[in-house]
Structure 1
Amino acid sequence: MIALTIAGSDSGGGAGIQADLKTFAALGVYGASVITALTAQNTMGVQGVYPIPADFVAQQLTSVMSDLDVRAIKIGMLADVAVIDRLADMLAAVPVPVVLDPVMVAASGDRLVPVEAVAALRDRLFGVATIVTPNVPEAAVLLGTAEATDEAGMRAQAMALADRGPAILLKGGHLDGRESVDVLCIDGACERLTSPRVATRNTHGTGCTLSSAIAAHLAQGAPLREAVAGAKAYISGAIAAADELTIGRGHGPVHHFHALWRHEV
């Protein structure tokens, strides 16, 4: 099976295209890529962003889709409105599941996309997405409101986003508590998903990894709820094993190959 990631490159290897391809490989899916931006980035933060022109992003997508039998698409960082508009037009004609991870701010707090891209992402790409996977800050930005501070607020914001069409997985990792609670809304019905909260600073790339894991399971033919459950199990394992790695001096990555590697890096 083949999955495609459309996202930015993380030179530090913990998020973006690199995290997506690692996730695809770990879950037994062949990964292809369309790069939307280059970043100068490491575990300490983002030092620079270099957007790829919309025409070349479109050329990459045409090259992949004209040859490979892509079964699911994950979309991550999109750097400008022109890229968003071009992708929305092209993906409207592509009959495969699309997982949209609305990446806007890095875990370090660095903004990755301009403000004007937020409305374009919401207004254009929600129409082609099967599921959108914002975290609490991203959901607030998409809705133009304050961040949710509890589970009830998360549910209300997830339902408001789901009213725009796609399924919504609102991730609650930014909130406090012994459990990490997510809210999944599909076809007007919302449910609570939980996982143990792990005490680690090595959480770089969690959002990219979760969304690409959903895409990997969808590429293998899993129904949406099963794909989300499988992705949640995978990211939980990757976070739990993150401290087995020693990568960089800041917020290191999750352990994408926790089920395959048995030695310390």
Structure 2
Amino acid sequence: MDFSRAEAELLDRLFADLVDSDVTFVVPRGYRDLPHSVPGSDIDVYVIDDDFEEAVRVAERLGFGSSDSSAGVRGLVEKVAANPGRATELLLSDRTKALRFAFETLTDTETVQTEYEEWKGSNGNVALHLTNHVVYESPMQSDVRQMIRVDPAVEESLFRHRRFVDGIPVPSEPDELAHLLCRGVFSYEGEFPPYYERRCRELSETVLSSPEMEKRFERLLSLLFFDADRVVRDHVERDSYDQLKSDLVSFADY
């Protein structure tokens, strides 16, 4: 999506205000043409949990209007507080309906991950998606789309090794490559978009040519894919992503 001059200036102001407010955040992907355009329809931003509420306030001060996107326990508390009479009425009159009410509330954004919170807001054509943790769709079959938080060490690496490009904090090459691999496998069910394949190819050339980056990348793979980390590494080396998910599924210990 291409942005107008005014929208690009708005994004510049947003990132500058987040930095000035000491919010620790990172734009994990699709950042190379910001603030002028993004590959998708919105801008994803990971915010360290302690700074999440401040990040939302910064966005709201700049005119971003929110959608109803609270998730997890905090989202449930907000909804019950907003409608305590309905919750009490259901609990007293019909336990089955009360359980359904609670379940629908908890899964309003199709997630049962209690530590995960997101906020979606827009100002004109500029759409933001803020999250307080790095999560991916669960590979387990379920009627409910479940979001699973990664090992906290993965998040710690993402924020600790971030770098600034044109005033925007972005992941280091090993962190970005690991992130795109997870997105391709879990979010896109193994069907990597062309942009992901191109970017993975670029990043792998950089990461695998640096012993320090390669070591960090291998550690991230072990935290994200466990004993199947070698399977993922082999596909990266071969620049082959189409069969990655199927090979992971067939891997005995995955």
Task: Normalising by structure 1, report the TM-score.
Answer: 0.28
More strand by share: 1
Q: Give the number of the structure whose residues are more often helix, by fraction.
A: 2
Structure with higher RCO (Cα < 8 A, 6+ apart)? 1
TM-score (normalizing by structure 2): 0.29
Q: Mark the structure with the bigger radius of gyration.
A: 2
